[in-house]
Chains A and B, each alone.
Chain A
Amino acid sequence: MNNILAIILKDTFTELQLKHRLKVLKSHLLKALFGGKEQFLSREDLNWLSSVSQTLQTFHKDNVYQILEELESQSSQLPLLTIYLPVASTDNICLQIASMARKTFQNPKIILSAKYDPNLIAGCALVWKGVYRDYSLRVKIEEKKEELLGNFKKFLK
């Protein structure tokens, strides 16, 4: 069970991505095991399904629902790192940041939730277990406000 989740998490980094892939997996397995209408899957989804095809062999008609439920339950308990970015986040950016985060904090289960905040200017702000901490340029400016103002006034003189 943990093995399946670890395999999924290997190339799944964001919260949205995880939810989408679990949904795709569920749809694909139910269709494969019980038949039904074919759901439209993107190329990327198909590629991902083929990359985990080895793992899919562990699913049978009698355990598919139980495993899927457990997967959903465990996925909701994964450590979630919310990151506020001053730039619009793409999958590529999220992938790079999440990889770096997992590497930095030595936790391969970290899931990223990226949000956009243009007021940060540069850098980022993090939310971990409900605590917000700002590491952006805005905070640095605020910290060095007096120094900056002093320099600006000197420049004006």
Chain B
Amino acid sequence: MEIINLILVIIIILALFAYLREYILRQKLQKTGDKLLNDLKEKGWETLHQSITRSQDMLGQAELEGIKVVASSRFNTQRMEERYGEELAEIVRQAQQAINNSQTQFAAFINNLGQEAQSARGVSEKATQERINKLFGNLEERLSDFLVETSQKTQASIELELRAARALIDTYKQGQLKLIDENILAMMEQTLATVLNKKLSLADHLDLIYEALEKAKAEKFIV
């Protein structure tokens, strides 16, 4: 317990010592700072006074220079106005002259243009007429060719159609003739059958049958 108290007392003493040291150092620093500030303040005031004096001098000088400039500028302005007036009159005169020239040239140009247009129109009309004539010539030629070609094609087509129709008619005719032949044959068979049925005797029939048997034997149909 005593050791702890002793340690605490030592710590407190050390702390007090540190505080006092710090306090003394601060007091010293404050005195040095105050002195430095006072020096600076005096120097500042001096500098400010010098600056004000110099600026007043400069202002006076500037006012003087300004008055000189204004006077000079008024004079120059008047001179320039006069000069500009003269130059402007000269320019207006030149412009007038240029406009007059331009008008003359323009009128001449228009006149020339009219003549050229007239000439071009004549040439164009002539060319157009020539082209139209040529076109009509070509058209006539092509139309003639086309008509000839169409006529040939139509003729060929009609001939083909006619040939096909003739072939069809021939086929039909052949068919009909064949049919007629078959009918004639059928009629002949029918007539023969009717006639022979009445006219052929049994002996005749038997003779024909014997003949058929002989033929079958000759053909070796029945062996």
* A residues in contact (CB < 8 Å) with B: 81, 83, 85-87, 93, 96-97, 100-101, 104-105, 118-119, 121-124, 126, 128, 131, 133, 135-138, 141-142, 145, 148-149, 152
Asked whether B188 lies within 8 Å of A141 as measured between CB atoms, the reply is yes
Asked whether A124 lies within 8 Å of B184 as measured between CB atoms, the reply is no
Q: How many angstroms from the CA of A100 to the CA of B188 in the assembled complex?
A: 31
| Beta-carbon nearest neighbor of A141 in chain B | B189
State the 6 A-B residue pairs at the shortest beta-carbon distance, nearest first. Answer: A135-B212, A123-B208, A121-B193, A124-B209, A104-B213, A128-B222
Asked whether B185 lies within 8 Å of A122 as measured between CB atoms, the reply is no
Asked whether A101 lies within 8 Å of B213 as measured between CB atoms, the reply is yes
Residue of A81, A97, A136 with highest tally of chain B CB at under 10 A: A97
How does the 8 Å CB contact mask read for B185-223 relative to A, with 1 for contact and 0 for none? 100110011001100101011101111111111010111
Asked whether A126 lies within 8 Å of B206 as measured between CB atoms, the reply is no
Asked whether A126 lies within 8 Å of B189 as measured between CB atoms, the reply is no
Q: How far is the CB of B21 from chain A (nearest CB, A)?
A: 158
A135: which B residues are within 8 A, CB to CB? 211-212, 215-216
| Beta-carbon nearest neighbor of A83 in chain B | B209
Q: How many angstroms from the CA of A79 to the CA of B188 in the assembled complex?
A: 37
A131: which B residues are within 8 A, CB to CB? 221
Q: How far is the CB of B8 from chain A (nearest CB, A)?
A: 154
Q: Does B181 contact A (CB under 8 A)?
A: yes
How does the 8 Å CB contact mask read for B137-181 relative to A, with 1 for contact and 0 for none? 000000000000000000000000000000000000000000001
Asked whether A124 lies within 8 Å of B212 as measured between CB atoms, the reply is yes
Contact count band on B: 20 to 34
B209: which A residues are within 8 A, CB to CB? 83, 85, 97, 100, 123-124
Q: How far is the CB of A113 from chain B (nearest CB, A)?
A: 14
With A85-B209, A104-B214 known as contacts, the answer to whether A138 contacts B189 (CB < 8 A) is: yes
B212: which A residues are within 8 A, CB to CB? 123-124, 126, 135-136
Asked whether A123 lies within 8 Å of B211 as measured between CB atoms, the reply is yes
Asked whether A148 lies within 8 Å of B208 as measured between CB atoms, the reply is no
A selection of 20 A-B contacts at a CB cut-off of 8 Å is A81-B222, A86-B205, A93-B206, A100-B213, A121-B189, A121-B196, A122-B200, A122-B208, A123-B209, A123-B212, A124-B212, A126-B216, A126-B221, A133-B221, A135-B216, A141-B185, A141-B188, A141-B189, A149-B185, A152-B188
Q: How many angstroms from the CA of A136 to the CA of B216 in the assembled complex?
A: 12
With A93-B202, A100-B210, A104-B213 known as contacts, the answer to whether A128 contacts B181 (CB < 8 A) is: no
Q: How many angstroms from the CA of A131 to the CA of B181 in the assembled complex?
A: 30
Q: How far is the CB of B191 from chain A (nearest CB, A)?
A: 10
B211: which A residues are within 8 A, CB to CB? 123, 135
A121-B192, A124-B212, A133-B216 known; 4 new pairs, CB 8 Å cut-off, are: A97-B213, A122-B204, A126-B221, A135-B215
Residue of B181, B212, B214, B216 with highest tally of chain A CB at under 10 A: B212
B206: which A residues are within 8 A, CB to CB? 93, 96-97
Asked whether A145 lies within 8 Å of B196 as measured between CB atoms, the reply is no
Contact partner of B193 among A81, A85, A104, A118, CB < 8 A? A118
B208: which A residues are within 8 A, CB to CB? 122-124, 137
With A85-B209, A87-B202 known as contacts, the answer to whether A122 contacts B196 (CB < 8 A) is: yes
B219: which A residues are within 8 A, CB to CB? 133
